[in-house]
């Protein structure tokens, strides 16, 4: 989900778009499995008793739990993106209320990354971007292939600072 053309400035190009690592969906996937097997087991145990309303209650409860513990986390993961253009970094997030943060590359002072053991195994990491403002730096958690994203940002930041001189 790169930035749409209407969001791009004149001469700006989308270079890379990413979202958090898919490991964020492991727990919702496990909940989906437990919920599916649990609901199917309960539905089979109830059978045709009580005129079928108990079965429908089980299905309704399973759907509500699915929506809250599986579908909602998936939407949050899917709609939270980080886009790198040749001029800025854009963070967009939110399901019903969309928010965003933009950091021009020329304002970035420091780019670093951290990888713990789990991140090293799964190929992800946390990217930390500090800019020349009073605001807290941008923390991009669980970025897949964080070294490549770090390298791309660093190259663009060096170019932006060279062109300012």
Average pLDDT over all residues of the chain:
88
Query: What's the pLDDT band for 34 if we cut at 50, 70, 90?
Result: very high
The answer to whether residue 75 scores a pLDDT higher than 90 is yes
CA–chain centroid gap for 5, Å, is 21
Look at residue 70 in the predicted model and tell me its pLDDT.
96
Mean pLDDT along residues 32-58: 86
At residue 49, does pLDDT exceed 70?
Answer: no
pTM: 0.82
Q: By percentage, how much of the chain surpasses pLDDT 90? A: 42
**Cβ atoms of residues 22 and 145 within 8 Å:** no
Angle at 119 between CA 74 and CA 160, to 5 degrees: 90
State the pLDDT at residue 117: 94
* Alpha carbon distance 73, 165 (integer Å): 45
Q: What pLDDT sits at residue 137?
A: 75
């Amino acid at each position: 989900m790169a930035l749409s053309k209407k969001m791009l400035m004149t001469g700006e190009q989308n270079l890379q778009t990413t979202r958090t690592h898919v490991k964020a969906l492991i727990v919702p996937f496990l909940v989906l499995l437990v919920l599916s097997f649990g609901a199917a087991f309960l539905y089979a145990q109830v059978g045709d008793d009580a005129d079928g309303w108990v079965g429908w209650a089980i299905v309704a409860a399973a759907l509500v739990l699915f929506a809250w513990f599986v579908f909602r986390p998936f939407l949050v993961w899917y709609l939270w993106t980080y886009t790198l253009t040749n001029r800025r970094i854009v963070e967009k997030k939110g399901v019903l209320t969309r928010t965003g943060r933009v950091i021009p590359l020329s304002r970035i002072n420091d780019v670093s990354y951290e990888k713990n053991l789990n991140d090293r195994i799964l190929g992800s990491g946390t990217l930390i971007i500090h800019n020349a403002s009073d605001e807290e730096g941008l923390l991009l958690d669980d970025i897949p292939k964080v070294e490549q994203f770090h390298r791309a940002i660093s190259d663009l930041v060096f170019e932006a600072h060279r062109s300012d001189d």
